[in-house]
């Protein structure tokens, strides 16, 4: 297996373990879309307590990648909801799973079609 395949398998296993209801296909596509960032321990995860990280997710992923135009407060609330769903004390908030949950939440899975 390749390193990317290993990461995808890891994220799929975490999804099933946490019962998040994401499809394997969406996790795979989001992971591939993240490119080499999944191999760096720091960039592989999302820190919900870091305001600059939350702003980066909002600006670079929700607005640029998904093309969302909702007010920042609404986007931040969605990010916070995902933070709570994967567990605020969970240190392994994997970016691929986090982004897949946001994508599904906003009904934008077609971005990864």
User: What predicted TM-score, i.e. pTM, was given to this entire model?
Assistant: 0.95
Residue 1: pLDDT above 80? no
pLDDT tens-digit profile of 13-60?
A: 999 999 999 999 999 999 999 999 999 988 999 999 999 999 999 999
**pLDDT the model gives residue 50:** 93
**pLDDT the model gives residue 30:** 97
pLDDT grade for 89, boundaries at 50, 70 and 90: confident
Give all domains of the chain, ordered by start, each with its CATH number.
3-108 (1.10.238.120)
Separation CA 100–CA 86 (nearest Å): 12
Residue 88: pLDDT above 80? yes
């Amino acid at each position: 297996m390749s390193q990317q395949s290993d990461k995808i398998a890891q994220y799929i296993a975490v999804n099933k373990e946490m019962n998040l209801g994401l499809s394997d296909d969406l996790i795979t596509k989001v992971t591939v879309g993240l490119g080499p960032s999944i191999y760096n321990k720091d960039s592989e995860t999302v820190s919900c307590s870091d305001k600059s990280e939350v702003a980066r997710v909002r600006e670079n992923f929700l607005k640029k990648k998904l093309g969302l135009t909702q007010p920042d407060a609404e986007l931040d609330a969605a990010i916070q909801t995902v933070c709570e769903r994967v567990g605020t004390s969970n240190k392994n908030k994997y970016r691929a799973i986090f982004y897949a949950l946001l994508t599904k939440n906003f009904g934008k899975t077609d971005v990864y079609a």
